[in-house]
Structure 1
Amino acid sequence: MADLILHHYPASPFSEKVRLILGYKKMAWKSVMIPTLMPKPDVVALTGGYRKTPFLQIGADIYCDSALICDVLEHLQPSPSIYPEPGKGLARTVAQWADGTLFWAAMAHNLGPKGAAHMFAGMPPEAARAFGDDRKAMSFAMTRLRPPDAAAAYKSYLRRLSDMLDGQPFLLGQAPCVADFSVYHPLWFTRVRTPVVADILDHTPAVLAWMDRMQAIGQGIMEKFDSTRAITVAAAAEPTPVGQGYLSDSTFQDDHGIPLGSRVAITSESFGPEPTEGDLIAATRTHFTLSRTDERAGHVHVHFPRIGYVLKAVASA
């Protein structure tokens, strides 16, 4: 198997989700640190435009979005499973809620005036402005919660999570599943990255104890790598043929009237408007795959989950 190369940065909540899953599955991986703000030329060389964090590289295959990365890691290392039976549908549903509704409530609370001041303490004012401008551009189509409204919602969600932990160590049973990893990462950001507003967690001690159990999982076997070498790896490899490898389903599900082979663009539904263009070579019930060529990375396949992403045909010149 080719090396797993995770492109991420330490403070990224969704990266923490993936890092913990790598730890739970005791997998070895290479760590490439990427910038927190645009421009990201080495990222774009591999993804073609997608700039959210993290993404996973295996040779010349690029897997975007933590939800899809979870599926790839499960295929590579089925045990211990993050989609245990019975109840994997419930686990996926809770995970999707956590990656969206819970995440945005938590982050609006975390990055309110008090939390933001803590994050940027000791840094020049232009650093905070640059971060704010960058994230504003990424969320241009979103309605974002005000910190007081976010805090109220966050408190309610924490109480519900506490109820889920009654009589069991993890959210849906005796072992962690994808729901646990997805719920954990925005709470991790509160506790670790914005501790000045982490007192919101104190009212749910069961959640804090669960967070301790999650943190103890660890992050697998990590080796430092760099983006230049990662691009060289992609250029030296050939992408996995459709229907083989870690996304083995190749059955065409046409919901758009766009035939395979068409030039298309894929964009996030909301956060992160930058499109990736390429030739559509797979559109299954769960994912899209684009084939594209970059002068540095060579021929790559870029993979996206269906849920959360918009597919559009690109008009020919």
Structure 2
Amino acid sequence: MSELILHHYPNSPFAEKIRLVFGYKKMAWKSVTIPMVMPKPDLTALTGGYRRTPVLQIGADIYCDTVLICEVLDTLSSQGTLYPTRNRGAASTIAQWADSAVFTAAMAYNFQPAGVAQVFAGAPAEVVKAFVADRAAMRGGAPRMAPCDATGIYKTYLRRMANMLHEQAFLFGDAPCVADFAFYHPLWFTQQRTPALAGILDATPNILTWMDRMAAFGHGQSEKLSAADALALARLATPASVEKEVFEDDHGIPLGSHVVIAADHFGLEPTEGELVAATRTRFSLRRTDAQAGTVHVHFPRVGYTLKKASA
């Protein structure tokens, strides 16, 4: 198997989700640091436009969205499983809720003035301004939830989670699953990146104990890698074959078509390429870039739209 390469930056909550999965599964990986805001030329050379963080690269295969990245990592390691057999559907559903509703409320709470002051401590005003503009563009102009609304919603979600953790170590029992990692990362940001606001967690002490338990997994074994070297590895590699993938056609778009895939909300930058696979759970595009060579870019079905590219 080619090396696991994660394109990310330290303050990214979703990247922390995957870094912690690496730790739980005791995996070795390469770390490529990317910019927090656009432009991200080295990353988009691999993805064709997708810019959300993180992105997993395995040779010439590029995996977008932590939902898909978790599925891929789970198949590559026998250390535990992120998807318990008896509760796979429930765990995945809770993870989806945590990655969307809980994350949205938590980050709106975290980015009130006291939190912004800590996240950007010592940064020039133009850096803060660029970040705000970048995230507004990612929301497609939709307003951010007001901190006063986010506070009450976040507290409600924390109480629900505390109830799930009653008399058990993790959300679904004695071992962590994908729901634990999805719930952890926005709370991690509150605790570790905006500690002035972390008092909201004190009302749910079993969540604090659970967070310590999760953090103890660490981040696995990582080594730094330059973006140029990651691109070179992609150029030298050949994407894994998708010829045996079962084609699930829900769009009336045949394989080999030139298509566009984009997130259905937040970070709407499209990726164009040749549709080479459409399974029950993912789409795969083949595209060629001068820097990255020929790659396959993979997306989960949930959260993404597929359509034919304009002629």
Q: If the length of structure 1 is used for normalisation, what is the TM-score?
A: 0.96
**TM superposition shift of 1:117:** 2.1
Aligned to 2:124: 124
1:255 aligns with 2:224: no
Aligned to 1:304: 299
Output aligned runs, 1:168-183, within 5 Å: 168-183=168-183
**TM superposition shift of 1:118:** 2.1
CA distance in 2, matches of 1:78, 1:98: 25
Cα displacement string for residues 294-313 of structure 1 (whole angstroms, at most 9, x for unaligned residues): 01110000000000001111
2:267 is aligned, of 261, 272, 278, to 272
Output aligned runs, 1:59-98, within 5 Å: 59-98=59-98
Determine helix, strand or coil for the equivalent of 2:307.
Answer: strand
**TM superposition shift of 1:121:** 2.5
Aligned to 1:113: 113
CA distance in 1, matches of 2:265, 2:114: 26
Please say if residues 8 and 34 of structure 2, whose CA atoms lie closer than 8 Å, have aligned partners that are also in contact.
Answer: yes
Cα displacement string for residues 107-161 of structure 1 (whole angstroms, at most 9, x for unaligned residues): 0000012211222232221111100000000011545311110110000000111
**TM superposition shift of 1:163:** 0.7
Please say if residues 7 and 32 of structure 1, whose CA atoms lie closer than 8 Å, have aligned partners that are also in contact.
Answer: yes
Aligned to 2:285: 290
Cα displacement string for residues 173-231 of structure 1 (whole angstroms, at most 9, x for unaligned residues): 00100000000000000000111111111111010010000000111111111110000
CA distance in 2, matches of 1:56, 1:210: 27
Cα displacement string for residues 226-248 of structure 1 (whole angstroms, at most 9, x for unaligned residues): 1100000000011111056xxxx
1:34 aligns with 2:34: yes
CA distance in 1, matches of 2:302, 2:227: 28
Amino acid in the other structure paired with 1:93: T
**TM superposition shift of 1:283:** 0.8
Determine helix, strand or coil for the equivalent of 2:288.
Answer: strand
Please say if residues 91 and 179 of structure 1, whose CA atoms lie closer than 8 Å, have aligned partners that are also in contact.
Answer: yes
1:314 aligns with 2:301: no
Please say if residues 141 and 270 of structure 1, whose CA atoms lie closer than 8 Å, have aligned partners that are also in contact.
Answer: no
Aligned to 2:103: 103
CA distance in 1, matches of 2:165, 2:142: 32
CA distance in 1, matches of 2:214, 2:11: 17
Amino acid in the other structure paired with 1:271: F
Amino acid in the other structure paired with 1:264: V
CA distance in 2, matches of 1:134, 1:163: 36
Aligned to 1:235: 235
CA distance in 1, matches of 2:171, 2:98: 12
Aligned to 1:247: none
Please say if residues 50 and 275 of structure 1, whose CA atoms lie closer than 8 Å, have aligned partners that are also in contact.
Answer: yes
Please say if residues 142 and 271 of structure 1, whose CA atoms lie closer than 8 Å, have aligned partners that are also in contact.
Answer: no
Please say if residues 136 and 142 of structure 2, whose CA atoms lie closer than 8 Å, have aligned partners that are also in contact.
Answer: no
Amino acid in the other structure paired with 1:186: P
Q: If the length of structure 2 is used for normalisation, what is the TM-score?
A: 0.98
User: Residues 314 and 16 (structure 1 numbering): CA distance in 2 closer, same or farther, change over 3 Å?
Assistant: same
**TM superposition shift of 1:258:** 1.0
Report the count of equivalent residues: 311
CA distance in 1, matches of 2:17, 2:290: 32
User: Residues 68 and 201 (structure 1 numbering): CA distance in 2 closer, same or farther, change over 3 Å?
Assistant: same
User: Residues 313 and 220 (structure 1 numbering): CA distance in 2 closer, same or farther, change over 3 Å?
Assistant: same
